[in-house]
Amino acid sequence: MISLPHFPEHLQKLGPHTGKPLDRVDGLAKVTGKALYAAEHHRPGLLYGVVVSSSVARARIRSFDTADALAEAGVVQVFTHQNRPKLASRSKKWRDQDTPKGSPFRPLEDDRVLFSGQPLALVVATSFEAARHAAALVRIEFDEIEQPETRLLERLGQGKAPGRAKGGFTPPPGPHGHPQQALKSAFARVNADYLVSAEHHNPMEPHAATVFYEEDGSLTVYSKTQGPVGEQAFLSAVLGLKKDRVRVLAPFVGGAFGSGLRPQYHLVLAAMAALELKRSVRVVLSRQQMFTFGHRPYTWQHVALGAERDGKLVSLVHEAVAETSKFESYVENVVTWSARLYPCPNYSLNHRVVPLDVYTPLDMRAPGAVTGLFAIESAMDELAHELGMDPLQLRLVNYGEKDGLTGHPYSSKELRACYQQAAGRFGWEQRWSEPRGRREGSKLVGWGMATGVWDAMQVPASARARLHLDGRLEVASATTDIGTGTYTVMTQIAADVMGLSLESVEFKLGDTSLPEAPLQGGSFTVASVGSAIKAACDGLRDQLFKLAQKMPNSPFYARSQAEVEFRDGRLGLPGHPEAALSYAQILRQQGVSVLEEEVKVLPNLLKQRGYSLATHSAVFAEVQVDEELGTIEVTRMVTAVAAGRILNPKTSRNQLLGGMVWGISSALHEKSELDLELGRFINHNLAEYHIPVQADIRHLEVVFVEEQDEIVNPLGIKGLGEIGVIGVAAAIANAVFHATGRRVRHLPIRLDDLL
């Protein structure tokens, strides 16, 4: 059971629509099937491409035998590296908006096999069934099949600094003070290693691209992506087409979680085939093929903590060694969170990567933070136990009023209130200190808590607002809605700024013909695109006001804009209802058919300078563990989140619940099982790759903590995409320890860990 929502009154409002738990504006379209996803767009004559994946991880291709496949009725072509049309040859052209250092993977590049599941051929046919059947008839002979390098733990010593960084990565600074010395002389110490499994994103909608070949030879691409703008640039570079010859659309995205941040190989193959065949082509990946590209990297961590008798940290060591591919050096922020969260005079942080024969890892919901917070928040729990201290008290003793790395104050940080309110709802003051201290029948009961933290980011974004003569407002930006509620909250912002009803506002997204928007990731969409929408609407207000002033006998003639109000589709003067004019009236009278404003909004770096910007959460979890059988149930969980202004408590709560469920999933279920001999993720289906089912989810509760922030961005929004999942696994692991006295330092925790 998930607790019924109660939405606090304090959620600040821009107008009547923001801060309210409104239903999704696209909800009806989704539940009635009118919302079309990438693989659902159709035109007569569409061809279907099916990818042939490599069965080996490391080899050279000797030969293809495509005769049987080509002989099948309906098969149009089989593309391999031997007959593919020319694609960009320079590595630089294959870079996208989320590329780490290295040389991006190029499908059908040459005879080298770099990872298991690599696309080696594309079979194109007039029906999906024919293509799929023919794909099974393609025979590939390999030479030089070699044992893939897959063993991270045997190569920990060979980790390399990731070097030039990927966007969003902050390399950990060098050591501060004397962490080793301080550790030695500390009153209490923790010294432990932690392991986080590889995971795959597994959105409900598999990756797909439907590429329509237009009469003029340009491409219209329906894609599953978190960034149409980036895909347009990528496709144009890779295919050697002018940007205006490629239009990418993603009106609906069935979940992505980071898997849509980088263009994947199916997109290249579909577009390449369409151009070459001068036909429209669709390529959809199978669920099995969803395990053949990016994943959350398998990561080893070491944490050492030293503390005074009162719990104050004197030493903090956090090191990570993560896998990457042989061709790219993927990296994420794993270790810096510790020192930011817990200011400590002596610290040492380190992050290294080990190249293996796997595909490059890829940002996956709260990349790095899910991993790093599991380790540091488990270690803090271990330290609390060493000290005989309440784990929450230990966090409060080490509470960072300032960012422990930069020394900057936070633009806002209501983490203390998160602790307090979540602990209150959970009943933490009833906690018993000794592990194995409570039993219910055959079950041991345990409570655990942890902290979550994520960056509050804003990046450049553009938006356009158009007010029509009939009073309709059309707002647009080429962002996406990956299931988060973007359609809804952007509509709310525009409606409130313009003083319109939700029904009179239409928000368009997911189309490169619209103003540029960034990738939808990092929890920065609402802060970035929302700010642009607000600015565009503010611009419309200025224009409307000026038009109104120019009208003959205008009641606004001698007024300033600060004196007027934009309300219910009318421009008015408070106290003078007779003066009010509808927007349509103003436009009509002034002979304007449509009023338009397009803006690009950048973060106000001047205002943000000298501040640390972050979202925080506190997670409290209860588990019951069957002592004999080891089975674990998360019976209760409360998360309190401080994320600035909450625009829509319903969609926000929805995101946070999803995050909490995913936290349970990473704590107890998810694991991409890499067969070390084969270098192949072997549980590549949703029967064997476990995520929780409904029966695993019990009482979940979300608390929104009031947080006012005038610095982070004009809307005071911090974003919620990641924060819900962060810290959950540690809270559960800590609860498992409290229940059983067994400390499990790897994820997922499964029953055999507790037998």
Partner 1 sequence: MKKFAFNRAETLEDAVSAGASAGVRFIAGGTNLIDLMKENVERPDRLVDITRLPLGEVKRQADGSLSLGALVSNAAVAEHPLVRGHYPLLSLALLSGASPQLRNLATVGGNLLQRTRCCYFYDLATVCNKRTPQTGCAARNGINRQHAILGHSQACIAVHPSDMCVALAALEARVRVLGRQGERTIPIADFHRLPGNEPEFDTILRAGDLITAVELPSNDWSEHSHYLKIRDRASYAFALVSVAVALQLDGEYIVEARLALGGVAHKPWRLESAELALRGQRTSNSSYQRAAETLLQGAEGFEHNRFKIELARRAIVRACAEAAKGTRR
Q: Which stretch binds partner 1 (CB under 8 A): 155-163, 208-216, 645-653, 665-673?
A: 665-673
Candidates 183-191, 522-530, 614-622, 689-697: pick the segment binding partner 1 (CB under 8 A): 689-697
302 is a contact residue toward partner 1 (CB under 8 A):
no
Output the DSSP codes for 301-319. EEEEEEE-TTS-EEEEEEE
User: For residue 410, which amino acid is it?
Assistant: Y
- The yes or no reply on residue 245 touching partner 1 (CB under 8 A) is no
b/e sequence 443-482, b meaning 16+ C-beta within 10 Å: bbbbbbbbbbbbbbbbbebbbbbbbbeebbbbbbbbbbbb
Q: Binding residue for partner 1 (CB under 8 A) from 60, 81, 101, 132?
A: 132
Judging by DSSP bridges, how do beta strands 313-325 and 328-329 pair with one another?
A: unpaired
The residue (of 216 and 752) whose beta carbon lies closer to partner 1 is 752
Please work out the total of residues on this chain that contact partner 1, with binding judged by CB under 8 A.
39
Binding flag, residue 71, partner 1 (CB under 8 A) = no
- Smaller CB distance to partner 1: residue 375 or 729? 729
Instruction: State the minimum distance, in angstroms, from the CB of residue 194 to partner 1.
Output: 20
3 lines the binding site for partner 1 (CB under 8 A): no
Q: Does 161 bind partner 1 (CB under 8 A)?
A: no
Q: Which of 116, 220, 458, 639 binds partner 1 (CB under 8 A)?
A: 116
Q: Is 241 a residue that touches partner 1 (CB under 8 A)?
A: no
Binding test (CB under 8 A) with partner 1, winner from 409, 678, 714, 741? 678
The DSSP bridge pattern shows strands 119-125 and 699-704 to be: unpaired
Task: By CB under 8 A, name the one of 93, 155, 607, 750 that touches partner 1.
Answer: 750
Q: How far is the CB of 56 from partner 1 (least distance, A)?
A: 8
Instruction: Kindly state the smallest distance separating residue 75's Cβ from partner 1, in Å.
Output: 13
**Is 563 noted as a catalytic residue in this protein?**
no
Distance CA 575, CA 588 (A): 25
Q: What's the rounded Cα separation, in Å, for the pair 557 and 679?
A: 74
Interface residue with partner 1, options 3, 55, 170, 501 (CB under 8 A): 55
Q: For the CB of residue 280, give the shortest distance to partner 1 in the complex, in Å.
A: 23
| Edge-first strand listing for the sheet containing 59-65 | 112-113, 59-65, 139-143
Please state the separation of Cα 300 from the chain's center in Å: 22
Q: Residues 6 or more apart from 750 whose CB is under 8 A from it? A: 630, 668
- Among 171, 692, 714, 741, the residue binding partner 1 under the rule CB under 8 A is 692
CA distances (Å), origin 538, targets 305, 474, 509: 50, 14, 19
Binding of partner 1 at residue 755 (CB under 8 A)? yes
Torsion of CA 432, 437, 442, 445, to 10 degrees: 30
- Which of 295, 464, 680, 745 contacts partner 1 by CB under 8 A? 680
Q: How far is the CB of 458 from partner 1 (least distance, A)?
A: 38
Residue 528 CB neighbour total at 10 angstroms: 29
Which lies closer to partner 1 via its Cβ, residue 685 or residue 708?
685
| Shortest Å, Cβ 377 to partner 1 | 24
Contact flag: residue 673 with partner 1 (CB under 8 A): yes
Among 629, 699, 708, 710, interactor with partner 1 by CB under 8 A: 629
Q: Please, which residues have CB within 8 angstroms of residue 176's CB and are 6 or more apart in sequence?
A: 339, 345, 346, 347, 348
* Residue closer to partner 1, measured from CB, 298 or 330: 298
Q: Which secondary-structure segment (H or E) carries 580?
A: strand 576-582
Asked if 519 contacts 260 with a C-beta cutoff of 8 angstroms, the reply is no
Task: Compare residues 17 and 742 and give the one whose CB is closer to partner 1.
Answer: 742
Name the residue nearer to partner 1 (CB basis): 4 or 693. 693
Span interacting with partner 1, options 48-56, 213-221, 369-377, 721-729, rule CB under 8 A: 48-56
Q: Which of residues 549-608 bind partner 1 (CB under 8 A)?
A: none
What residues from 87 to 106 belong to the interface with partner 1 (CB under 8 A)?
A: none
Q: How far is the CB of 484 from partner 1 (least distance, A)?
A: 26
Strand stretches in 54-173, DSSP E: 59-65, 75-79, 101-102, 112-113, 119-125, 139-143
DSSP letters for 587-604: HHHTT-SEEEEEEEE---
| Separation of alpha carbons 188 and 599, rounded Å | 55
Nearest CB to partner 1, comparing residues 602 and 751: 751
| Interface region with partner 1, contact rule CB under 8 A, candidates 132-140, 180-188, 504-512, 733-741 | 132-140
∠ CA 587-590-591, nearest 5°, is 80
To 10 degrees, the CA torsion angle through 105, 106, 107, 112? -80
> 684, 718, 738, 745: which one contacts partner 1 (CB under 8 A)?
684
Site string for partner 1, 407-446 (x = CB under 8 A): -----------------------------------x----
Stretch that binds partner 1, among 39-47, 49-57, 106-114, 366-374 (CB under 8 A): 49-57
Q: Which pair of tokens denotes residue 519?
A: 């990738």
Q: What is the DSSP string of 327-364?
A: SEE-----SHHHHHHS--SSEEEEEEEEEESSPPP---
- For the chain, what is the total number of helices (H) and then of strands (E)? 17, 31
**CB-CB contact of 336 with 170 (8 Å):** yes
Residue 616 is a binding residue for partner 1 (CB under 8 A): no
Considering only 231-239, 334-342, 677-685, 738-746, which stretch makes contact with partner 1 by CB under 8 A? 677-685
Nearer to partner 1, 474 or 753 (CB): 753
The tokens describing 194, both together, are: 């932690």
Q: Which of 516, 670, 701, 722 is catalytic?
A: 722
CB of 294 to partner 1, least distance (A): 20
Q: Tell which one of 23, 434, 542, 628 touches partner 1 (CB under 8 A).
A: 628
| Angle in degrees, 0-180, between the axes of helices 228-239 and 265-277, rounded to the nearest 10 | 50
Q: Rank residues 229 and 754 by Cβ distance to partner 1 and give the closer one.
A: 754
- How far is 522 from 544, CA to CA, in rounded Å? 35
Q: Among residues 456 and 749, whose Cβ is nearest to partner 1?
A: 749
For partner 1, give the closer residue by CB, 224 or 684: 684
| 204 contributes a contact to partner 1 by CB under 8 A | no
* Distance (Å) of CA 392 to CA 293, 407, 450, 548, 618: 39, 23, 8, 58, 10
Does 65 bind partner 1 (CB under 8 A)? Our answer is no
State which residue, 558 or 695, has the beta carbon closest to partner 1.
695
Tokens of 211: 């590429």
Q: To the nearest whole angstrom, how small is the minimum distance from the Cβ of residue 749 to partner 1?
A: 11
Q: Which of 63-71, 130-138, 591-599, 721-729 is the region at the interface with partner 1 (rule: CB under 8 A)?
A: 130-138
Nearer to partner 1, 133 or 262 (CB): 133
Q: Is 255 exposed, middle or buried (0-12, 13-18, 19+ CB in 10 A)?
A: middle
Rounded to 10 deg, the angle between the 728-740 and 649-668 helix axes is: 50
The yes or no reply on residue 200 touching partner 1 (CB under 8 A) is: no
Q: How far is the CB of 118 from partner 1 (least distance, A)?
A: 11
User: Cα torsion at 728, 729, 732, 737 (round to 10°)?
Assistant: -140
What is the rounded CA–CA span in Å between residue 59 and residue 144?
Answer: 5
The residues annotated with a catalytic role in the active site are: 722
Interface with partner 1 by CB under 8 A: which residues? 53-56, 116, 129, 132-133, 136, 288, 442, 628-631, 633, 668-669, 673, 675, 677-678, 680, 682-685, 687-688, 690, 692-696, 750-752, 755
